[in-house]
Amino acid sequence: MHIRDLPHPDPGEPDVRSGFRFLLWLFRRQLGGQARALLWGTLHMAAIACLPVTMGLAIEAVVDGSGGRLALTGLFLLAITLVMSFADTMLHRTAVTNWITAAARVQQLLARRTAELGGLLTRRVAAGEVVKVSTGDVEKIGWFVESFSRFAAAVVVTTGVCAGLIVFEPGIGLLVLGGVAVVALSVWPLLPAATRRADAERGKSGRATELASDTVAGLRVLRGIGGEELFLERYRRASQEVRGASVRNARMWSLIDALQVVMPGLLLIAVVWQGTRLALDGRLEAGELVAVYGAVSFLMFPLRLFQEAAMAFTFSRPSAKRAVRVLGLRREDAGTGGGPGTADVAGEAPDGDLWDPSTGLLAERGRLTAVVCGDPDFAERLAGRLGGHAPDAAGEPSAQLGGVPLDGLPREAARTAVLVQDKDPVLLSGTLAELLSVPSSGRIAARDALATAQCQDVLATLAQSAPDGSGDPMRARITERGRSLSGGQRQRLALARSLVTDPGVLVLDEPTSAVDAHTEARIAEGLGALRTGRTTVVFTSSPLLLDHAETVVFLHEGTVAATGRHRDLVQTTPAYRAVVTREPETADLAEEIA
């Protein structure tokens, strides 16, 4: 495969039983590239190994005074140089291709799993961990996949050189073979300790990254409460821990590097000493001694590749384990069907009332239902379950739409039927037109959705930044995550995007928590009118929204405690009044009644 062919049409289904099996799976997926790298690597190193022999022949030709043999040797040396240069170029091209294609495959797998899991991913794996896996770990995994073929080529050529030396001079050949084995194996006892130190560094780095991302995400809030220095000090401590772990890891690898210098040097001294003895005894000619010395000097090159392969394997195994931990995550509802009532919904999303068996929550078809829950975390989990996300606990029943369990629907059908807008929706970078260009029914125009979400001030702000002074807010660019906008503006644009989609069931989790009361009142008035005939579920405790809801459902301790209109529940249900009005006296009274 060529780099220009990326991304992969299908990255495949990885073997996630272990990190080592995942590495083997990656290796098997690009056997062609590995074979080409092995071929070019073997040719390249074989050409280098021939240089000492050529130099020995040249010296013999000079000693014998044979100009013809010297000229022939020169031509042979030129041919070897050309072959070596061409093979080195092709090896580099192939090795880089293997690295990039392996890294791209892992990144595509991670992106696919992230898209499948959605918000569940960061509930199971820390955000900093995901960032480190998709950046540094991907590079280390690609490094191992790429370096293995060069390591295999080094093994082939080293074996051939040692065999040639044994045939030429058994004493020196056996000495070199034993020395190479000792040098190659000398670092293995240190690798477990190096792996542990690398894991410690990687763990501390992941925690520091997670802390940094949390600090940046909450910087505005931290400044508001004067807590930025506290978090900055925490990050400084985490950064220093990463530095200390990196230094300890570097010390171990410098020890391994030192061994890789000292041990080959001792081997070279032993070979020179033995070769000199043979030359003094007349058993070796001057040219032969130079050839032997050059061949042993050449072996220093593949021995360095042995160390690189050991480093790549040491660093890639923990990285592969972390990648497998992410890639092995699955939704409990990831099947293509099989639940009760799924036989007739394979091609079309169901319609009807939305019901959650765990809490008893019923959102009638075509009505605006408001849900009041005193626990924001429970409300967030319930909103996700109403959208067909995985249940909170094993064995917990799925929410049902029209009597059909959502976890029994194909994922595409579930997403078409129900849309959940999170409490903290994300705006992707791009123009406003691109933001609102989402799969939709076509029933609601973008201007109507923006008007209902009360985005007039947002449009005025964006019109000022429109390109070419056109004043068209739809052409204005929104920065990453909408950071150039206020929290309320981002929230209203996200609401407009959800309204444009116009799903059969729309679940909104605190859609107006960051807007002022006047704007919230206008949104409440327009939401029901725009969503007429569609099922809308709003998780909120705002009286302005609750007063416009056709049905209000109050959840207490995880189950439905009361259902009715907002004004009636305020009069008849003290616990509901305590949550909505947030009055301490009312809360105490509710506790006494409970």
Buried b (16+ CB within 10 A) or exposed e, 400-432: bbbebbbbbbbeebbbbbbbbbbbbbebeeebb
Q: Is 403 left (phi over 0), alpha (psi -120 to 50) or beta?
A: left
Q: Is 386 helix (H, G, I), strand (E, B) or coil?
A: helix
**Residue 455 burial by CB count (10 A; 0-12/13-18/19+): exposed, middle or buried?**
buried
Give the span between the Cα atoms of 67 and 58, in whole angstroms.
10
How many whole angstroms from its chain centre is CA 424? Answer: 21
Q: Is 12 helix (H, G, I), strand (E, B) or coil?
A: coil
Q: Do residues 171 and 267 make contact, with C-beta atoms less than 8 angstroms apart?
A: no
- Residues ≥6 apart with Cβ < 8 Å to 46: 157, 160
The one-letter code for the residue type at 134 is S
pTM: 0.61
- Residues ≥6 apart with Cβ < 8 Å to 398: 333, 339, 357, 385, 388, 391, 405, 406, 407, 408
Q: Are strands 404-405 and 430-431 parallel, antiparallel or unpaired?
A: unpaired
- Residues ≥6 apart with Cβ < 8 Å to 306: 151, 154, 183, 184
Distances (CA, A) of 2 to 11, 40, 493: 15, 16, 41
Question: What does the block give as tokens for 358?
Answer: 């765990």
Give the span between the Cα atoms of 498 and 508, in whole angstroms.
9
Give pLDDT tens digits along the chain (594 positions).
677 778 888 888 999 888 889 989 998 888 888 999 999 999 998 888 888 888 778 887 887 788 888 899 889 889 999 999 999 999 999 999 999 999 899 989 988 888 777 666 766 776 666 777 877 788 888 888 888 888 899 889 888 888 888 888 887 878 888 888 887 777 777 777 877 787 777 677 767 766 666 655 555 554 555 555 666 777 788 888 888 888 888 888 788 778 777 877 787 788 778 778 877 777 777 777 777 777 777 777 887 787 788 778 877 888 888 888 888 887 654 333 333 333 343 446 678 899 999 999 999 999 999 999 988 888 988 988 888 775 555 557 888 998 888 877 777 777 788 999 988 788 878 888 988 988 888 899 999 999 999 999 888 888 888 777 778 888 888 877 677 788 888 999 999 999 999 999 999 999 998 888 899 999 999 998 999 999 999 999 999 999 999 999 999 988 999 999 999 999 999 999 988 987 654 444 444 444
How many whole angstroms from its chain centre is CA 165? Answer: 49
Helix axes 286-298, 138-168, angle to 10 degrees: 160
Find the angle CA(123)-CA(428)-CA(103) to the nearest 5 degrees: 65
What is the set of domains in the chain, with CATH numbers? Answer: 7-190+251-327 (1.20.1560.10), 354-593 (3.40.50.300)
